[in-house]
A and B are shown apart, each in its own frame.
Chain A
Amino acid sequence: MGKGNMNEQENAMIRIHVMGKTYQVPAGLTIMDAMEYSGYRFIRGAGCRSGFCGACSTIYRREEDYRLQFALACQEMAEDGMYLVQLPFTPAPRSKYNLEEIDPSENVLLQYYPEIARCVSCNTCTKACPQDIEVMDYVQAALRGDIARTAALSFDCIQCGLCTMRCPADIKHYHMAQMARRIYGRYLSPVPNHLEERLCEIEEGVYDNELGKLMAMNKEELGIAYAARIREEAK
């Protein structure tokens, strides 16, 4: 290995600070990989490693920045000088409810999560969201009983809990929003009539004949039928 290569390798190392201790790690790793490279083994705080499960909430600050930053360790790249800590769990009890028995009226979210009325619109929750959700906007929608808007705005939530850890009003945003989405799904979303009609048709045996034909086909015939299928035109 030549001298130039050695230098390049040295340049490719960055420093990260994990809970106060500094480590040299190769550049180009995610925060999670960089921490594992440093010798940490995740028992909690790691899950899907694909940005969907919300288990690897990370809080960090850059050396020259006054602001705290928030990320999922499996998604964000480690940078030189990051001060890092993991937040594997958020202590936030969930209200108990039976979805079949609740009244989906405007005040229902306030009834089960009364602390949403403590929101002072500081927007700290929104700044903490690694999914770039307008968290405060959905809390405000919930406060005025707009369940559909709460459900829509919070749709990308992965329940990591960072909003809830940062909230000065002690709101349990993500649990509340999950309830809103459940209520929306159970009571408010439009009923797909065509689906019900199709299910009836299936039960009445309208497609039995066609399905029987498919079941009787061998692999080759199935391949031909598949290639010749009628596609629904894109709208």
Chain B
Amino acid sequence: MDGLTYFPGCSLKEEAKEFEISAMAVMKALGLPLIEFERWNCCGTVFSLTEDDLMHQLATIRNLIRVQENGSEEIVTLCSMCYNTLKRSSLFVNRDKERLEKINAFMDREQAYEGKVEVRHLLEVLRDRIGWDKVEEAMTHSLEGLSVAPYYGCMLLRPREVGIDDPDNPTIMQDLIEALWATPVEFPFQTECCGSYQVVDRRELIVERTHRILSSARRSGADVVITSCPLCQYNLQKTQSELKETIPTFEEMPVIYFTQLMAVALEVDSGELPSPLLAGLAIEEGVGNGER
């Protein structure tokens, strides 16, 4: 069976296991399984904005070399952050061959990178290669009645040159939600930054943003928020208990990965889902976890 050359990234092996579990199950069900390639390393985490700082492009380019060694010309990511870093790095070296030459000369034990690997996000594959109609066809458990707010954050959309959709008015996750017969909920903070790595030493800043983003989604009628970024998911989900301590009226909101929502609709392994959401979906605990 053909598959996609899959780059997991570190978070999917640690904090965001549910993302990988559900994506693996969904893509298997859709007939285009994710195949993790050998010897990947950290994506580099944050794209370096310094034009002459080639050292911080090594991690990304090395991954693209490994993909090239694999005989593949495409790499598919789930994590928005990995997607952003890999994609920008590949454009960065393709735009100026002198940079690429320098990097290749430094990595003198490896194959030279030829600049041919395309970086794609799984949402793009779903939209452009599988198609929303096929996703709808594969659905066995309709999500009718469920209101879902898509939260894009920054990394999928900005800067424009790497954005998988319109950075100001994205629809890719809305389309996915509709394909699963759920109701997409538009809300004004869907492309707002979650606060990112500020969570390390400015946690209060994240708590405040979680409040703003999730309250807005709630006011717009959402039952659940979906995302494709492990850091957004972490920030928005893990700060809710702190938020409840300071603002007792805050209503908790489940924040899950878009692949988990798909897994529920396709009745394949979704990984662990927050229990309030299970009640909202009128499904019993354990459903969707059949293949684990």
Contact = CB atoms under 8 A, between A and B. Distances in A.
B107 interface: yes
A180 to B, nearest CB: 15
B41 A136 contact: yes
Contacts of A107: 14
B199 to A, nearest CB: 15
A120 B10 contact: no
9 contacts: A120-B56, A120-B58, A121-B44, A121-B59, A122-B106, A144-B9, A144-B14, A145-B13, A168-B55
A115 interface: no
A119 B13 contact: no
Contact of B39 (A106, A127, A137, A143): A137
How many A residues are at the interface, by size bracket? 10 to 19
Nearest to A67: B108
Contacts of B219: none
Contact of B55 (A122, A140, A143): A122
The 7 closest A-B pairs by CB, nearest first: A121-B59, A144-B10, A140-B41, A144-B13, A106-B14, A121-B41, A145-B14
Given A136-B41, A143-B42, A121 B13 contact: no
Interface of A: 67, 106-107, 119-123, 126-127, 136-137, 140, 143-146, 168
B13 A120 contact: no
Contacts of A119: 41-42, 59
Most chain-A Cβ atoms within 10 A of its Cβ — which of B8, B42, B106? B42
A120 B57 CA distance: 8
Given A106-B13, A120-B55, A121-B58, 17 more contacts: A119-B42, A120-B58, A121-B42, A122-B55, A122-B106, A123-B58, A123-B110, A126-B109, A137-B39, A140-B42, A143-B10, A144-B9, A144-B14, A144-B42, A145-B10, A145-B13, A168-B55
A120 B59 contact: yes
Contacts of B9: 144
A121 B14 contact: no
B211 interface: no
Interface in B90-111: 106-110
Nearest to A107: B14
Interface in B1-57: 8-10, 13-14, 39-42, 44, 55-56
